[in-house]
Amino acid sequence: MTTDNGLPLDLPVIAILRAPSAARFAEVTATLHEAGITAVEFTLNTPGALDALRDSSGFAHPVGAGTVLTALDAARAVDAGAAYLITPTVCPEVIAEGRRLGVPVICGAFTPTEIHSAWAAGATMVKVFPAAVGGPGYLKAIRGPLPQIPLVPTGGIGLADARAYLDAGATALGMGSPLVGDACISGDLDALRERAVAVRKTLL
């Protein structure tokens, strides 16, 4: 299923793949898709990420690019096959390039001013990063005056507190190592599948 904002969010989770190499990104992504986590981002500061994006056309769901910091990053990622872009900070030039290219941009921010600025600049959703600094309570407080902005808390969110972020008003969650673990390096894909299934059961 693709949402109105263009992201494949059958489950409100975006899995974040970051590693010393993108060599296992395809296997990890296929495992996540099979387990029901349909939104996956390949971080551009992983060596080989663009090549992995170029090889992503056979996946069950489109993948996105993360750690996008410049308009050039955005253009290269979309050219390689990224269906959406994710930034760690407020990057107006990435938002503008994403809009020009017709792809959603989830823009990173933390303070209320940054969050509103990202939204006003045209971000599709705003990634609240690093979310664990404020926790679900911070997200709920942000939602009070800014209820119209879809928020995606990211950074330090584990299985135990994932539900609390959704209950606090998150549209989706960005989950890295608590979900992916060492699967992108040499970890057990069956263990990854079990974690993904556990996340799905917790959030549905």
Residues with active-site annotation: 41, 127
Q: How far apart are CA 154 and CA 131, in angstroms?
A: 5
3-class SS letters over 123-162? CCEEEECCHHHCHHHHHHHHHCCCCCCCEEEECCCCHHHH
Query: Is the torsion defined by CA of 188, 56, 128, 152 positive or negative?
Result: negative
Judge contact between 55 and 31, C-beta under 8 A. no
For Cα atoms 51, 54, 56, give the angle at the middle one, nearest 5 degrees.
110
Q: Name residues whose C-beta falls within 8 Å of residue 65's C-beta, 6 or more positions apart in sequence.
A: 41, 42, 43, 44, 49, 53, 73, 74, 77, 78, 80, 82, 84, 85, 86
